[in-house]
Amino acid sequence: MPEAPPTDEGWFVLHDFRTVDWDAWRDAPEHERERAIAEGTEHLRRHEEVADSDEGASAVFSVLGHKADLLVVHFRPTLDDLSRAERAFERTALAGFTTQPTSYVSVTEISGYSTPEYFDDPDSVDQGLQNYMEGKLQPEIPDDEYVSFYPMSKRRGEEHNWYDIDFEERAEMMETHAETGKEYAGKIKQVIASSVGFDDYEWGVTLFSDDPTHIKDIVYDMRFDEVSSKYGEFGQFYVGRRFPPADLGAYLEGEAVPTSEHDGASAHAHGGAHSHGDDGGAHSHGDDGDDGDDDDGEGADEDSIRAELSEMDIYAGQPHGEDVYATVLYSEADTDELFDEVEGLRGNFEHYGTHVKTAVYEARNRDRSAVVSIWDTASAAETAAGFLSELPGIVSRAGEESGFGTMGMFYTVKSEYRENFHDTFDDVGEVLAEMDGHQETDLLVNVEDENDMFISSQWDSRENAMAFFRSEDFSETVEWGRDVLADRPRHVFLA
């Protein structure tokens, strides 16, 4: 009786294919589409950040051709984790516009064909091989890569039956097959997962590459290996391109994704929708390419403030001729917990060329923190707010309180003057407390850089705030700041 090779299993895998009902999508009211984008984006973001499990990886891909539109790949420690991920999607509004034409369930695997020493004596395996094995069993998903997925089995025909061949002969053919694959090292990353007993074929193969022709080439070359030419049977092939969850809105609008690779990427490059506060509503931004500067409204008002601040020699944005915009949300959650969540979001934001900075600032004299996200366009900052609004402990968003928020100043202080800066702020705070129309002013410190500070100030009206900027006390503070600041303060306007 032929010998079965030993195997070791790692993470379970779900390839979740979705087809969009484009007629239903076009006919749906705008508010329903916005809700679907917001909920779909949040679902994909949370799973890509593995917020549903202790370990794993997830990614979303656009699929070419008629067989599917979207592919969501999940790696998780248990089948129950995969089940929850699949059912969680069904609870989103986006699911109502999709069907699931197919799916594939498997588990990552290594076998005794190529690494018998791993099974014979695990303690004898060097650290390099152990790391390799761990990478096979708990794989990462490459960023911004093309993907090809296909299921396959070994033939059990009358003439060629893989399972009738002696182990040594099978191992020799597999070794030759592996040598072909090694020629694509650095060009292809593959995940081979067993689906014996789980799905219709015996393995699911997922290939990743930054060049889709590499995928064609490796599959073509391997077809000539005996292990494939005589004994391989293949199911349908699917090919697609990874894009970040924030690009879901752009994808559904028919744009090329990932948007970060294309000129003119704007607000909907970051998801196209977001929710505000607790009302569950969603609002699209940036669909017309407008950056928010309306000469007849708020934009003109901001321009006049910029001009006045500039006359007072206060840096009012426009670095290198470009505006920057910030969205700021205040949270009463534990700062460490908040930072962990923000760090995950920031990793997604950094895919986009319009992202300038996202950081957590902790208030010195109050039990709250500010999440500050700065972007090159107002519409991108607005879209980012949709994701930030889901952070723990959010209690308000700057600009949505009553009165006028100056959106403060960002300061980088020379380290030797940091304590002096704190003391001076406290002195100025006493002056502010006596001024008409002043509501509150906080000095918040970047949790990653104690020399980076953000002052958020709230007033009853613009006139009250500008009265302070015109005051002698503020003028003296600005003059003093020339010695203690590492660069000029930047006034950033609320998106």
Give 145-192 pLDDT, tens digit per residue.
899 999 999 999 989 999 999 999 999 999 999 889 888 887 899 999
State the average pLDDT over residues 313-331. Answer: 60
* 459-477 per-residue burial string, b: 16 or more CB within 10 A, e: under 16: beebebbbbbbeeeebeee
Give 344-389 pLDDT, tens digit per residue.
888 878 877 788 889 999 998 888 899 988 887 777 777 788 788 8
Query: Could you tell me the end-to-end alpha-carbon distance of the chain, in angstroms, rounded to an integer?
Result: 71
Locate 477 and state its tokens: 């503070």
What one-character-per-residue DSSP string does 227-239 give? HHHTTEEE---EE
pLDDT at 438: 85
% the chain with pLDDT above 70: 82
Pairwise pLDDT comparison (296 vs 149), residue with the higher score: 149
pLDDT at 382: 76
State the average pLDDT over residues 411-428. Answer: 86
Which residue in 425, 397, 398 sits closest to 484, CA to CA?
A: 425
* Strand residue runs (E) in 277-425: 282-283, 325-331, 355-363, 369-375, 394-397, 404-405, 409-412
Distance CA 396, CA 394 (A): 6
State the average pLDDT over residues 202-218. Answer: 96
Distance CA 84, CA 483 (A): 57
- Is the pTM higher than 0.85? The answer reads no
Give 122-131 pLDDT, tens digit per residue.
777 776 677 7
Residue 6, pLDDT above cutoff 90: yes
Backbone angles phi, psi at 341, to 5 degrees: -70, -40
pLDDT bin (cut points 50, 70, 90) of residue 323 is low
Residue 424, pLDDT above cutoff 50: yes
Question: Which residue has tokens 């089940």?
Answer: 83
What average pLDDT does the structure give for the chain? 82
Question: Which residue has tokens 């191992």?
Answer: 171
pLDDT bin (cut points 50, 70, 90) of residue 449 is very high
Residue 322, pLDDT above cutoff 50: no
Pairwise pLDDT comparison (275 vs 346), residue with the higher score: 346
pLDDT bin (cut points 50, 70, 90) of residue 262 is low
pLDDT bin (cut points 50, 70, 90) of residue 195 is very high
Highest-confidence segment of 194-203, 322-331, 395-404: 194-203
pLDDT at 158: 85
pLDDT bin (cut points 50, 70, 90) of residue 300 is very low
pLDDT at 28: 95
State the average pLDDT over residues 297-305. Answer: 51
State the average pLDDT over residues 422-426. Answer: 86
Backbone angles phi, psi at 353, to 5 degrees: -70, -20
Residue 272, pLDDT above cutoff 60: no
In the chain the domains, ranked by start, together with CATH numbers, are 7-243 (3.30.70.1030), 265-494 (3.30.70.100)
Residue 42, pLDDT above cutoff 80: yes
Range name among 56-70, 225-239, 440-454, 470-484 with the lowest pLDDT average:
470-484
State the average pLDDT over residues 424-439. Answer: 85
Residue 476, pLDDT above cutoff 90: no
State the average pLDDT over residues 404-418. Answer: 74
* Strand residue runs (E) in 64-135: 70-76, 98-99, 103-111
Residue 491, pLDDT above cutoff 70: no
What residues are labeled active site? 150
pLDDT at 183: 86
* 182-216 per-residue burial string, b: 16 or more CB within 10 A, e: under 16: eebeeebbbbbbbbeebbebbbbbbbbbeebebbe
Backbone angles phi, psi at 443, to 5 degrees: -105, 120
